[in-house]
Amino acid sequence: GAVVSQHPSWVICKSGTSVKIECRSLDFQATTMFWYRQFPKQSLMLMATSNEGSKATYEQGVEKDKFLINHASLTLSTLTVTSAHPEDSSFYICSARESYEQYFGPGTRLTVT
C-alpha cells in the first residue's frame, strides 16, 4: 500500500515552454501533497505544500507564478513549470501525506534545453 506515482519520469523541453508533472496517490487519499526539488548530490528542498481544494503554500524563495501547483482531487496534484529555463532543470519529487508519514513518488527528471 501507500504508493505514489509520478508522470512523466523524465521530460525534455525547450526553453520558454511549459511542462506539467503529475503526482498521484494510487491507493490512498491525500489531502496534502508536497513538491520537492533536488539538485545533483544534494538534499531535497521543499518547494510547496499542496492542499486539496485550496491554494498551495510556497516556501520562501519559490516563485509561485513560475511553479503552478494544482491539487484538484484527493489523489492528484500537478506541478506546472511555466516558461521553463535551463536553470529549472532538476529532479522534482512529490510526496503524499497519510497520517504522519509521507510517501514519495519516483521523481521526474526535467531537462530544459
Partner 1 sequence: AQSVTQPDIHITVSEGASLELRCNYSYGATPYLFWYVQSPGQGLQLLLKYFSGDTLVQGIKGFEAEFKRSQSSFNLRKPSVHWSDAAEYFCAYDSWGKLQFGAGTQVVVTP
* Least distance (Å) between residue 81 CB and partner 1: 18
Beta strands 90-98 and 10-13 are unpaired
* Residue position matching grid coordinates 535551463: 86
Q: Which three cell numbers stand for residue 33?
A: 501533497
* Least distance (Å) between residue 14 CB and partner 1: 23
* Least distance (Å) between residue 12 CB and partner 1: 15
Instruction: End-to-end CA distance of the chain: give it in Å, rounded.
Output: 37
Interface with partner 1 (CB under 8 A): 4, 6, 32, 34, 41-44, 46, 49, 91, 93, 95, 97, 100-107, 109
